[in-house]
Amino acid sequence: MKKRILVIGSGGREHALAWKLAQSPQVEKIFTAPGNAGTAGVGENVAVSAADIPALVDFAKSNRIDFTVVGPDDALADGVVDAFLAAGLKIFGPCAAAARLESSKAFAKDFMKRHGIPTAGYREFTDPAAAKDYCRSAKYPLVVKADGLALGKGVVIAADFVEAERAIAACMEERAFGDAGSRIVVEEFLEGVECSIHALVDGNSYLLFPDCRDHKKIHDGDRGPNTGGMGTVCPSGSVDDALCARIEREILQPFLAGLEKDGLHFRGMLFPGLMLTADGPKVLEFNCRWGDPETQSLVRRLDSDLLSLLEATADGTLPSQKPVWKEGAAICVVLASGGYPGPVEKGKPIGGIAETSAMEGVVVFHAGTKESNGQILTNGGRVLGVTATGETPAAARTLAYAACARISFDGLQKRGDIGAPK
């Protein structure tokens, strides 16, 4: 029997997952809640918010959904997986207790410290005066992080005490991130290049995906404020076989052993953000979900059936899976609205998507888009992810930028150096 799949979320990541799942010979239909104009073209959008867990459970029950795939971190942290499992529904993602590895930085740091996983040295504070005292005599730069989920905006790299003090005040006194900032982590600044690792984890084993690099800053040359991610390249070009073995030995294997020791049940995608330092790879953060826009590049290289991989992860049978990856590289260039990562104006008509999507080797994933009277309009900060594959990162990059040049909307911002060698 063919399967009915529900994807939860509305970003580029969810369009990429829905697009890849739709290619599975096992799939009858894909629903996305709430989705975007891109997911509407892959299946059916459902007008249920990713935050409304009871309504998602009801939808899955009454529409005979066989398997659900969760995109966003906050749905995981709020227990969407626990609720589905309690209702006897199959779902991909970690339960809330394990998703705390992403939703609490202090919890993740403590986990890493206890299980010997390399990460930046840190202190944790719940009292702003104690945090300021510590920062007064600390070495700079240093990094101030809100403990909880803050849409990627809860991290400040402070050049001096004045900046650290301002970050502590914003987080803990002005409560810029609400409860997410009532506890903070202050950590050592790490130097190096960043790299995104993805590994499916089925509780007992992991399956490592190719490495990627995200480009988090809004402007070329890694300048300007942090964003959710302005583009990715897969592979990153920074991880050779020896480093890959080290990442498995020093990060993934202790991670699995730590889960077991702590009695944490983790089934889903583990996405550690790493800094590749002169002393080796160190974990900046654990994400307990697919990266956005890493997913857009990863699915373009995956040659195997994604549904089989995700079901094996949920079933605890991951060692049965041997995914095949296309040779070469994939690139995703994000097209963002004017003003992003600050407030943006929505509702701008987008031109050129159909022509661009017709280009050989190019797939355009939607993020913040919606359809209105047959016209696709911008509907968020990150609007589209233009992906291209090629035999080399350079070939993929040339094709991706040729594709981007055909798309237009008022205020469009993109980086010109996604996938350029580091």
Does residue 369 contact residue 38 with C-beta atoms inside 8 Å?
yes
How many whole angstroms separate alpha carbon 304 and alpha carbon 109? Answer: 34
Q: Which stretch binds ligand GLY (CB under 6 A): 119-127, 175-183, 291-299, 336-344?
A: 291-299
Does residue 11 contact residue 382 with C-beta atoms inside 8 Å?
yes
Does residue 46 contact residue 33 with C-beta atoms inside 8 Å?
yes
Closest residue to ligand GLY, judged by C-beta, is 229
DSSP 3-state of 275: strand
- Residue from 78, 187, 292, 311 touching ligand GLY (CB under 6 A): that is 292
| DSSP for 72-135, written as a single string | -HHHHHTTHHHHHHHTT--EES--HHHHHHHH-HHHHHHHHHHTT--B--EEEES-HHHHHHHH
Helix residue ranges, H only, 302-384: 306-315, 353-357
Q: Which does 307 bind (CB under 5 to 8 A by kind): ligand AMP, ligand GLY, none?
A: none
Q: How far is the CB of 260 from ligand GLY (least distance, A)?
A: 26
Q: How far is the CB of 159 from ligand AMP (least distance, A)?
A: 12
Does the N-terminal peptide bond of residue 225 adopt cis geometry, omega within 30 degrees of 0?
Answer: no
Nearer to ligand AMP, 156 or 302 (CB): 156
Binding mask 177-216 for ligand GLY (x = CB under 6 A): -------------------------------------x--
Q: Which does 305 bind (CB under 5 to 8 A by kind): ligand GLY, ligand AMP, none?
A: none
Q: How far is the CB of 308 from ligand AMP (least distance, A)?
A: 30
How many whole angstroms separate alpha carbon 109 and alpha carbon 225? Answer: 24
Does residue 348 contact residue 412 with C-beta atoms inside 8 Å?
no
- In this structure, how many other beta carbons lie within 10 angstroms of the beta carbon of residue 402? 14
CA geometry: angle 286, 287, 292, nearest 5 deg: 140
Q: How far is the CB of 238 from ligand AMP (least distance, A)?
A: 14
Q: How far is the CB of 341 from ligand GLY (least distance, A)?
A: 13
Q: Which does 82 bind (CB under 5 to 8 A by kind): ligand GLY, ligand AMP, none?
A: none
- In this structure, how many other beta carbons lie within 10 angstroms of the beta carbon of residue 26? 15
Q: Which does 14 bind (CB under 5 to 8 A by kind): ligand GLY, ligand AMP, none?
A: none
How many whole angstroms separate alpha carbon 115 and alpha carbon 103? Answer: 19
Range 211-240, binding ligand GLY (CB under 6 A): 214, 229
Q: How far is the CB of 382 from ligand AMP (least distance, A)?
A: 16
- Residue from 71, 254, 291, 419 touching ligand GLY (CB under 6 A): that is 291
Q: How far is the CB of 278 from ligand GLY (least distance, A)?
A: 24
Matching residue, tokens 């009454």: 62
Q: Which does 292 bind (CB under 5 to 8 A by kind): ligand AMP, ligand GLY, none?
A: ligand GLY
Q: Which does 229 bind (CB under 5 to 8 A by kind): ligand AMP, ligand GLY, none?
A: ligand GLY
Please report, as ranges, the residues that interact with ligand AMP according to CB under 6 A: 120, 143, 145, 155, 157, 187-190, 194, 216, 226, 273, 284-285
- What single DSSP character describes residue 31? E
Contact positions toward ligand GLY, by CB under 6 A?
214, 229, 287, 291-292, 294
